[in-house]
Amino acid sequence: MNVVQQFTPAQTRTAEPNYLSGFGNQFETEALPGALPVGRNSPQRCAYGLYAEQLSGSPFTAPRASNERSWLYRIRPTVANIGRFRKAEARLWRSAPCQEVELPPAPMRWSPVPIPAEGLSFVEGVRTLTTAGDAASQAGMAASLYFVTRSMQDEYFYNADAEMLLVPQQGGLHLATEFGRIDIAPGEIAVIPRGVKLRVALTDGPARGYLCENYGGAFTLPERGPIGANCLANPRDFLTPVAAYEDREAPSRLTVKWGGALWETEIAHSPLDVVAWHGNYAPYKYDLRRYSPVGPILFDHADPSIFTVLTAPSETPGTANIDFVIFPDRWMVAENTFRPPWYHMNIMSEFMGLIYGVYDAKPGGGFEPGGVSLHNTMLPHGPDAAAFEGASQAELRPHKQEGTMAFMFETRFLQRVTAWGAGLPELQQDYGEYGRPLRRHFDPSRREW
């Protein structure tokens, strides 16, 4: 149960009754007493007639720090759910590699795409904007918008291609997963590991949000280096659900995203039948307003990596497959400093969304809650003319950025825009020229201006 109010600082207890607190812990939880075997994983007969099943999110031999697996004690093993799969309609959900259109290099931006009126479950309502890397090679990502107008009923889904990071922007979601139940609302995120089955239901009307599919190694917390043991995203604020199971025999459908395509099969019961589980491979949620930002307290504008909530590393140290970065409420206090983001070209590509409020690099309008900007590999970007003129002349009193939450999916890979994204009426045709109004200020005879 989520008792945190929308858009207000989160001041309730960390541990809520239906969640376990901590990041990457070895958790154990059971919905029936004694359902978890003690001191072993695979007893000859599991309690209550349950089946034991291991879900491995990393190779068996991964080093301890990145080794992820859980043991699930369930009414039926997953293999009992697998009949013959038929190809399902992927609609507008795309996977890398996907080169449907060729676009000239330019910054791109989309106004918010309205929630369609038609009935869309989560699986039907994912619409991909960008793909990067290669899902089958387990490198790269896809960034999509999701639109949900109906709850899944006797319908279940798992994503074999990716770990899923859900960023709600409008409306809450109830995620009934094999590991337990998670409620999220705008301001919160959820991470569903690769292979975890779930059913997505609405909680308060139609929902819209952002979906980042991580084809690579799992999201983890960034190192904090000299910052020390506290601040940024604190591990205790990550919440994993306690075990909760459905014992439901009813004609149902299981859809699987596998190899870049959707496949479906009929099953006769709910696969959310896990009565107890233990391990460190499990879904979790996090309230972004719990993030404790650290930044420049005297001068200059630090790199946005100081706002990294989660990072999905690649094999190259410091070169993330994906960094999930936020721009939350914070004080701007730097003296003699151009405070907004600096002008920038980046080897990493930057997909940005806005959950609520105004983003300080773009006060001139056009980047609205629910919208998207894409500053792709080595493409120039930075504050618009309004931001530059304002920030270069502003009196530098301490100033609080308030009521704002922008975020970035930043990846080492170039992001390819889908045909859907390229054809949207919400694509702002003139955004590529937003830098043109930046005036010349250079005057060799005047050092100060």
Ligand X SMILES: O=C(O)Cc1cc(O)ccc1O
- Scan residues 348-377 and list those touching Fe ion (CB under 5 A): 350
Give the residue with the Cβ less far from ligand X, 272 or 408. Answer: 408
Q: Is 178 in the site for ligand X (CB under 6 A)?
A: no
Respond yes or no: is residue 301 known to be catalytic.
yes
Considering only CA atoms, give the Rg of the chain.
23
State how far the alpha carbon of 200 is from the alpha carbons of 151, 175, 178, 203, 376, in Å.
Answer: 6, 5, 12, 10, 31
Hey, what amino acid is at 299?
A: F
Q: Is 361 in the site for ligand X (CB under 6 A)?
A: yes
Give the residue with the Cβ less far from Fe ion, 350 or 384. Answer: 350
Burial (0-12, 13-18, 19+ Cβ within 10 Å), 36: buried
Sheet strands (E) in 120-248:
126-134, 139-148, 155-159, 163-170, 173-177, 180-184, 188-192, 198-202, 207-214, 239-241
Q: Tell me whether residue 375 is annotated as binding.
A: no
> What is the smallest separation between the CB atom of 406 and ligand X, expressed in angstroms?
8
Q: Which of 339, 381, 412, 416 binds ligand X (CB under 6 A)?
A: 381
Q: Residue count at the site for Fe ion (CB under 5 A)?
A: 2
* Segment contacting Fe ion by CB under 5 A, of 18-26, 121-129, 192-200, 339-347: 339-347
Q: Distance (Å, rounded) from C-alpha 426 to C-alpha 134?
A: 27
> What is the smallest separation between the CB atom of 381 and ligand X, expressed in angstroms?
5
> Measured in whole angstroms, how far is the alpha carbon of residue 166 from the centre of its chain?
4
Query: Nearest-CA neighbor of 351 among 375, 322, 317?
Result: 375
Q: Is 344 in the site for Fe ion (CB under 5 A)?
A: yes
Q: Tell me whether residue 245 is annotated as binding.
A: no
Binding mask 329-348 for ligand X (x = CB under 6 A): ------------x--x----
Which of the residues 278, 301, 375, 441 is marked catalytic?
301
> What is the smallest separation between the CB atom of 341 and ligand X, expressed in angstroms?
3
- Scan residues 390-409 and list those touching ligand X (CB under 6 A): 408
Query: Nearest-CA neighbor of 152 among 119, 194, 193, 186?
Result: 119
Contacts of 37 (CB under 8 A, 6+ apart): 43, 46, 47, 52, 73
- Scan residues 266-325 and list those touching ligand X (CB under 6 A): 304
Q: Is 301 in the site for Fe ion (CB under 5 A)?
A: no
Catalytic site positions: 301
Residues that bind Fe ion (CB under 5 A): 344, 350
